[in-house]
């Protein structure tokens, strides 16, 4: 009887244990494989742009999606000034629920998991959009997400040189410290974004600033570069000068959401884009030549959290992690919710 099954709670500590136990390369492998499989069955999902609640300092978003078996949603915020208050810019949690009954099966942290899934998604896109011989990446924005991006590109795509830039030198120093023991990865600190992109095969922008920032201008983009633009992910929050988007082919996760939130919010409504799933399932081309500029205008889509929640839940099950949570009353008689109060009163009698 699935109705009596308690919801499993997967904490941040559990996810940290999963990362330690499996190792980052193996976990990223699993995530990318699951993401690719789910993106290839794109038409099976019930999709909608996320629901955003904006305030002057940030945004709180709900991201729902479902296939025939499982419904999921993520709660996530984006408040770029949070680090000044001692809080992360991005915090998240999410749920997996059974479509047939609506029973919430899993409640999980998604802050660490978002960093993992965003990096895995970036790599999934770069595999079909970046030049296969790419070895050097500019990493602009060295905050909470950045090490995950760095490691995903290193382990999955063979990036062995990172050219780093952040307006906050302490953020870059933190990244260098955190990655100091990764073998075969050269880190170079750059004084400007322009210096960081010099000679890079891939440019990742993952900055946090609620403004139409111009982190990359068209004259900084060399032939053959792949741009992984991750930080521009809400209205009024962009990273690329609009002319950059004319330099190459633009790829998005889910067009209706990216038109609102991505760097392409700066472009006319008919500006051409390709949804990534079409490239992954083979109906549209990815990179066409070694000279072409490709741009992944990433905003983060609910399917990525659906896939990641499954991977994390399976790993937690394998490792015996997670705690049962009394999120839904476990009633002997489903119609007797009031009577449930009586049973809990008896249970807690001293
Ligand atoms: P963070 O606040 O920890 O780090 C952001 C870093 O960007 C900071 O170190 C800041 O100093 C730096 N920065 C700001 N403006 C800059 C500029 N003009 N040039 C260089 N550096 C600059 O935030 P985070 O958790 O690392 O997230 C980074 C961004 O990625 C946020 O905007 C977040 O909303 C976005 N994000 C996107 C996705 C996605 O799926 N697309 C997922 C997660 C986070």
Q: Which fold has domain 131-300?
A: Rossmann fold (3.40.50)
CA angle 267, 122, 201 (to 5 degrees): 85
Domain boundaries, the chain: 7-112+303-347, 131-300
State yes or no: pLDDT of 4 exceeds 90.
Answer: no
Nearest Cα neighbor of 47 from 283, 256, 260 is 256
Give tens-digit pLDDT for 270-292.
999 999 999 999 999 999 999 99
Predicted confidence band at 346 (pLDDT cuts at 50, 70, 90)? confident
Q: How far is the CA of 268 from the centre of ligand 1 (A)?
A: 25
DSSP assignment, residue 85?
G
Helix-, strand-, coil-residue percentages of the chain, each rounded to 5: 40, 25, 35
Is 46 a catalytic site residue?
no
**Pocket of ligand 1 contains residue 150 by CB under 6 Å:** no
Q: How confident is the model at residue 3 (pLDDT cuts 50, 70, 90)?
A: low
Please tell me the distance from the alpha carbon of residue 75 to that of residue 26, in angstroms, as a whole number. 26
As a whole number, mean pLDDT of residues 214-240 equals 97
Residues 6+ apart with CB under 8 A from 155: 24, 25, 28
> What pLDDT, on the 0 to 100 scale, is given for residue 210?
86
Architecture of domain 7-112+303-347: 2-Layer Sandwich (3.30)
Euclidean distance between CA atoms 16 and 12, whole angstroms: 6
Q: Rounded to whole angstroms, how far apart are CA atoms 152 and 335? A: 49
Q: Indicate whether 347 pLDDT > 90.
A: no
| CA angle centred on 347, ends 341 and 348, rounded to 5° | 90
Q: Is 89 in the pocket of ligand 1 (CB under 6 A)?
A: yes
CA distance 350 to 84: 46
Token reading at 226: 């792949």
Catalytic residue among 233, 263, 297, 305: 233
Q: Which of 31, 138, 141 to mutate to test the pocket of ligand 1 (most atoms within 8 A of CB)?
A: 141
- Given this model, what pLDDT does residue 5 score? 85
Give the pLDDT mean for 33-48. Answer: 98
**Amino acid 2: pLDDT:** 40
Q: What is the mean pLDDT of the chain?
A: 96
For 269-292, give one letter per residue: b (16+ CB within 10 A) or e: eeeebbbbbebbeeeeebbeeeeb
Any atom of ligand 1 within 6 Å of the Cβ of 83:
yes
Band of residue 348 on the pLDDT scale cut at 50, 70, 90: low
Q: Would the pLDDT of 126 be above 60?
A: yes
CB distance 202 to 127 below 8 Å: no
Give me the DSSP letters along 9-63.
Answer: EE-HHHHHHHHHHH-HHHHHHHHHHHHHHHHHTGGGSB--PPEEEEETTEEEEEE
Inform me whether the pLDDT recorded for 48 exceeds 50: yes
339 CA → ligand 1 middle, Å: 50
pLDDT, position 1: 38
| CB of 65 sitting under 6 A from ligand 1 | no
Residue 170, pLDDT above cutoff 80: yes
**Which regions of the chain does DSSP assign to beta strands (E)?**
7-10, 51-55, 58-66, 70-78, 92-98, 104-109, 136-140, 161-165, 186-189, 202-205, 212-216, 226-229, 238-240, 249-252, 274-275, 294-297, 323-325
| pLDDT band, very low/low/confident/very high, at 184 (cuts 50, 70, 90) | very high
């Amino acid at each position: 009887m699935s109705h009596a099954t308690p919801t499993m709670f997967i904490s941040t500590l559990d996810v940290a244990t999963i990362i330690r136990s499996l190792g980052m390369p193996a976990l990223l492998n699993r995530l990318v494989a699951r993401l690719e499989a789910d993106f290839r069955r794109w038409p099976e999902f019930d999709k909608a742009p996320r629901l955003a609640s904006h305030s002057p300092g940030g945004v709180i978003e709900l991201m729902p999606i479902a296939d025939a078996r499982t419904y999921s949603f993520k709660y996530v915020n984006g408040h770029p000034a949070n680090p000044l208050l001692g809080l992360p810019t991005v915090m998240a949690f999410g749920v997996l629920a059974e479509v047939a009954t609506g029973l919430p099966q899993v409640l999980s942290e998604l802050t660490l998991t978002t960093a993992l899934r965003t990096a895995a998604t970036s790599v999934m896109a770069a595999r079909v959009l970046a030049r296969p011989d790419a070895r050097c990446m500019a990493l602009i924005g060295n905050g909470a997400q950045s090490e995950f991006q760095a490691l995903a590109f290193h382990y999955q795509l063979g990036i062995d040189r990172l050219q780093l830039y952040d307006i906050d030198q302490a953020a870059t120093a933190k990244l260098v410290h955190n990655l100091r023991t990764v073998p075969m990865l050269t880190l170079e600190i750059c004084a400007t974004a322009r210096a960081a992109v010099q000679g890079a095969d891939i440019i990742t922008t993952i900055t946090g600033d609620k403004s139409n920032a111009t982190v990359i201008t068209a004259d900084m983009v060399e032939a053959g570069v792949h741009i992984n633009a991750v930080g521009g992910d809400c209205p009024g929050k962009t990273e690329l000068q609009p002319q950059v988007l004319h330099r190459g082919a633009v790829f998005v996760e889910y067009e209706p959401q990216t038109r609102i939130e991505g760097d392409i919010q700066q472009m006319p409504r008919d500006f051409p884009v390709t949804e990534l799933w079409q490239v992954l399932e083979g109906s549209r081309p990815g990179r066409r030549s070694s000279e072409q500029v490709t741009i992944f205008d990433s905003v983060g889509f609910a399917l990525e959290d659906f896939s990641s929640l499954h991977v994390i839940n399976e790993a937690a099950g394998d490792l015996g992690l997670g705690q049962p949570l009394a999120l839904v009353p476990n009633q002997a008689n489903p119609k007797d919710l009031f009577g449930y109060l009586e049973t809990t009163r008896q249970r807690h009698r001293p």
